[in-house]
Amino acid sequence: MTERNSFDGPTSGLAVDSITVDAQLRKALQIEHVVALNGPMLRDGVALASATLNVTARFPEHGIEVRLAYQAKGGRRVLRSVLSITNYRRNEVQASDLQKLRFTEVEAEIDRILAHEEAQADDSFTASFEAFLNDTAPRPGRGHSAAKLDLLRIAVLYASLAHEADPYPVMAEKLGISAASCRNEVSKARKAGLLEPTIRGRRNHRFTQKAKDMLLNLYDNNGDT
């Protein structure tokens, strides 16, 4: 089993494979229609130009939800297909429903969301993440107890293993504890607000802003950035 010394999983600011537009993001970016994006979007904090992007958008004024597939072509994003369209008001779709979809508005919202994600990918965070991942005994910075650092270490390691089919055996080998204990520690880190919430049956390896700030402050305080 290869030991991980760098990060390529979908956490905020480094790599992004899915985005759910929550109320906070919706308000901050003035998003009206897009509710989710899926597909490889960022790697090492840089937007991917050629990846296929699946977008879920809603038009509540018409009772319509649509899933769209976009792909880069000739340096611009083009609509490749309408994957699905649902009219949840009348439980049937009519040809006129397609005419109600404001694609230009959806595409402008996609641009704002991706620009926001890319803006989070600052070099100092990438450096701090990988330094902490590789540091066997980081020094507590101001305001950070050893217990907090232990949970942050769990969150960082879990986030770095998003590519693994089952991250817990890899964590167990690295930390010298059982896979079940690793699962419990990840749960503690999530409850501590260091990893985004998850739903049953779906993993979520994304860092929270709290964890990102904690990591940046740790290395700022230690003079390592």
Question: What tens digit of pLDDT does each residue of 65-123 get?
Answer: 999 998 877 667 789 999 999 998 888 999 898 888 989 899 889 888 877 776 665 55
Q: Domain for residue 6, yes or no?
A: no
pLDDT of residue 67: 95
Task: Clarify whether residues 62 and 34 are in a common domain.
Answer: yes
Q: What pTM was computed for the model?
A: 0.50
Domain boundary at 80, 96, 119, which? 119
Residue range(s) defining the domain that contains residue 72: 16-119
Contacts 24+ apart (CB under 8 A), 64-67: 64/88, 64/97, 64/100, 64/101, 66/101
pLDDT of residue 87: 93
Q: Domain for residue 8, yes or no?
A: no
Domain boundary at 119, 134, 166, which? 119
pLDDT digits (tens, 9 = 90+) for 192-222: 988 877 766 677 787 777 887 787 777 655 5
User: b/e per residue, 133-171, with b = 16+ CB within 10 A?
Assistant: beeeebeebeebeeebbebbbbbbbbbbbbebeebbebb
What's the structural domain count of the chain?
Answer: 2
Task: Clarify whether residues 175 and 192 are in a common domain.
Answer: yes
Task: Clarify whether residues 30 and 71 are in a common domain.
Answer: yes
pLDDT of residue 15: 56
Q: What band does 31 get if pLDDT is binned at 50, 70 and 90?
A: very high
Task: Clarify whether residues 92 and 185 are in a common domain.
Answer: no
Q: Domain for residue 11, yes or no?
A: no
Task: Clarify whether residues 47 and 140 are in a common domain.
Answer: no
Q: Domain for residue 115, yes or no?
A: yes
Domain boundary at 119, 148, 171, which? 119
Task: Clarify whether residues 100 and 53 are in a common domain.
Answer: yes
